[in-house]
Amino acid sequence: MIAAGEQRPDGSLRPAPEDLLGSCALICDLYALGPGPLSAECAAAKAAYEGTADLTRAIAACTSGRQLAAAGFAEDLAIATAEDISALVPVRDPDGASAAG
């Protein structure tokens, strides 16, 4: 798992809590499938995600969340942080076409 971020105009890195929490959510879901013990890093990520009481509020408070709200897309935060709302996943076709499966 790699929690990403973005590069600021001055070249510095802006860690992205939204990416971190998204990775942590995936770790939690994978762990629930019973793959075995977690690495120390994955265990810390799992604890961070499970310790986030209000995911939408946490994302709204980060830089990207504030930028979305300022641009008039505050409602998108609830959509972006919704969990378990779709059974479809994107699948990359070797020829470059995408499909849902």
- pLDDT tens digit string along 70-93? 999 988 888 888 888 888 777 777
- Number of Cα atoms under 13 Å in the Cβ half of residue 36: 1
Residue 18 burial (C-beta neighbours within 10 Å; 0-12, 13-18, 19+): buried
Give how many domains the chain has, as a whole number. 1
CA distances for 38 relative to 17, 28, 31, 50, angstroms = 21, 10, 8, 15
pLDDT at 69: 92
| Per-residue pLDDT tens digits for 24-60 | 888 888 899 987 899 998 898 889 889 998 989 999 9
pTM of the shown model: 0.69
**What domain range is 90 assigned to?**
5-100
Residue 97's pLDDT band (boundaries 50, 70, 90)? low
